[in-house]
Structures are given as structure tokens and as C-alpha cells.
Amino acid sequence: MNKISIITPDDWHLHLRDESFMTAIVGDSANQFGRAIIMPNLNPPVRDCAQALAYRERIKAALPKQSRFEPMMTLYLTDHTSIADIKTASKSKFIHGAKLYPAGATTNSDAGVTDIGKLYPVFEQMQKSGFMLQVHGEVTSPEVDIFDREKIFIERQLQRIRKDFPELGIVFEHITTREAVEFVRACDASLAATITPHHLLINRNALFQGGIRPHHYCLPVAKRERHRRALLEAACGGEKFFFAGTDSAPHSKSAKESACGCAGIYSAHSAVELYAEAFESSADFTHFETFMSCNGADFYGLPQNTGSITLERTEWTIPDSLPYPESDLIPFKAGQTLHWKLVANG
């Protein structure tokens, strides 16, 4: 097989930033995807309907001319999110859920939630309004090992939310462990998970390959090989409740290559090709379209895209760096060879 055409895919988890940082990169996602769920962790965060709609306008204005890329907005839950915030946002066709960041879990999460119990009235309203909850599933307790934070989050928090709000639609974002895959399989039809290209392609060794590798550092951090294999099996197996969400999260080269480098991997530049590389490694493209283009839309209750994209089997090299304000942006797998290239999107 040397060519694959699939329904235009969507990115169900994307960081676009703002202002010149956004302008520098938004075209990459528009080249690769039809739509994307836009994460709200700006500084300050996107907390209400008006802020989300204004952010959407800024994204639309930054898109290349004639682009039909559709940003799907989300709210950032804080200790102060109100029932009224949810009621208003859930009436907008442009806003597709609210993101739970446990405070301190990741980049720009300081304003996140300190006590999930206090948010119960908000979850109640979300369940009533059919408004999706997107979850960054990591505990932040300093005594919990960083590689166990997702597993413990399932045990301490997610199981409880699932049980108390059985009808609430939940997307367990960027899962990284076998335990998360098994949890999703055991849940009913109202919980699904996104999987990133980097968690399908690297395990935690990549962080320490011949030295510290800041460009492989993201949160949740990559885990052992057996976890990567579980993710690959879930993605490539065509299971309904797993779909693509890149978690592409640009940080300048200087912010990554520092004594305290920030978390985030930039994959949007070649996201679909990176996913194809992962499917190539399992030598089975049967469910590529299902994972990239169908499951996410079905879970969110949105129509699948009407266009298509085509990839060709051809070797090409990811650029060493991309232009970005302040200093360059180093894409995931910079300078490395991929075996599939996106040749048409329309």
C-alpha cells in the first residue's frame, strides 16, 4: 500500500496559544485537520463564554485565507466557575466543553481546580446541559511518583466522578498508561480518551537518550514501553472510545532548553504523518480512519467531516526547527525521517 485517503481528521486536543505565538503555528493545524478542540490554558485562562468566543474570533482571524479550519472552544474550570457560566456556554454552538486542570498539574494550571468536590454543582449542571468534561488526569500530591500520577488519579478522582455523574460526557485527555486504557474499556459509552502521537511513538527512555532530552518532556510524561504498547493497541484496534488528540503544545526553544524546561511537545506540524508512523509500526491501517476521523466526532455528537485527505508513502525529513517568536520552535522528531507524507487536503 502506497497511498491512503481518509475522511478529513480532527484534532480533539490542541494548544494554539495567542497573539504572535498563535499566528506562527495555527496554519500547521489548519493544514492537517478539519477541526480542533482548543485548550483554554492561556494566561489568563479562558473562563467564560464571552472569553471563549473572543478567543475563537482571534483564531479565525489568524488563519490562512480560505482556510475552513474550525476551532471548537472550551472553558477552563476554576474554583470559581459558576452554574451560570456553564448554562451560558452550553448554549453556544462554538463551545464544546470545559477542561478540568487539577491546580499545579501542568503548564498554566495555577488557576485550576484545588478541590474537585467543590465543583460538584458545576458537574451537575454540565451533566444536565449535555456539556462535555475534558480531564487532565493527574494527581498533584508531591508524594506521588510522577510516573504514577495518572494511575492514582483514576483511583482517587476519576472513578468517583464517573460514579457520581454517570450521564456526564467525559474525555480523559492524553492517556499514557495501560491502566487508563483498561479504565476506558471498562466504562460505558459516556467516557472516551484522546491519545497523542508522541505517546504512541516514544516511551520514557526517550527522555534520557544519551542525556536529558527536553523536547521529549511533556505532561503527562511518557511511560514504560508496556504502556506505549497498550496505547498503540487501543488506537490501532479501532475501538470506538479512543481517538486522536495531539496535545500539540508549542514552547520556544529557549523555554524548553533551560535548567527548568517547560512541559509540552509540538507535533502539529506533522501530526497526521506522525500518527501514520505509529500505525505503520503496527503494520495495520485498517482502523486509521476510524481513529483519526470518526470516533471523536461520533463521541462529541458532531457530524464527521465531508472532505478527505491523502497520504503517500514517501520518505521525508521533519525540519530541524520552525520560526516562532523569541526563539525557534523545535518540532517533535526534528530532523528525523518519516515514511508517510500528507499530499492533499480538501
Residue from 247, 284, 298, 328 carrying the catalytic annotation: 247
Q: Which amino acid is at 103?
A: A
d(CA 159, CA 191): 11
Q: Is 11 a catalytic residue?
A: no
Name which of residues 128 to 147 contact ligand NCD (CB under 6 A).
Answer: 136
The separation between the first and the last C-alpha atoms of the chain, rounded to the nearest angstrom, is: 21
CB of 222 to ligand NCD, least distance (A): 11
- In the complex with ligand NCD, the residue whose CB is nearer, 7 or 218, is 218
Q: Which amino acid is at 336?
A: Q
Give min distance, CB of 251 to ligand NCD, in A: 6
Peptide bond into 44 cis (omega under 30): yes
Kindly identify the residues of this chain, within the stretch 180-209, that bind ligand NCD according to CB under 6 A. Answer: none
The three-class DSSP label of residue 7 is strand
Which residue number, 85 or 247, has a Cβ lying nearer to ligand NCD?
247
247 binds Zn ion (CB under 5 A): yes
Residue 106 binding ligand NCD, by CB under 6 A:
yes
- Of the candidates 245, 272, 271, which has an alpha carbon nearest to the alpha carbon of residue 96? 245
**Residue 328: C-alpha distances to residues 7, 217, 232, 346 (Å):** 32, 17, 31, 30
Q: Report the residue number, 150 or 247, with the smaller CB distance to Zn ion.
A: 247
Question: Which strand (E) or helix (H) includes residue 75?
Answer: strand 70-76
Q: Which amino acid is at 235?
A: A
Does position 150 interact with Zn ion (CB under 5 A)? The reply is: no
- Residue 136 contact among Zn ion, ligand NCD, none, beta carbon within 5 to 8 Å by kind: ligand NCD
Considering only residues 35 to 54 of the shown chain, the ones binding ligand NCD according to CB under 6 A are 41
Task: Report the interface residues with ligand NCD, using CB under 6 A.
Answer: 15, 41, 106-107, 136, 218-219, 247, 249, 263-264
Please list the active-site residues.
247
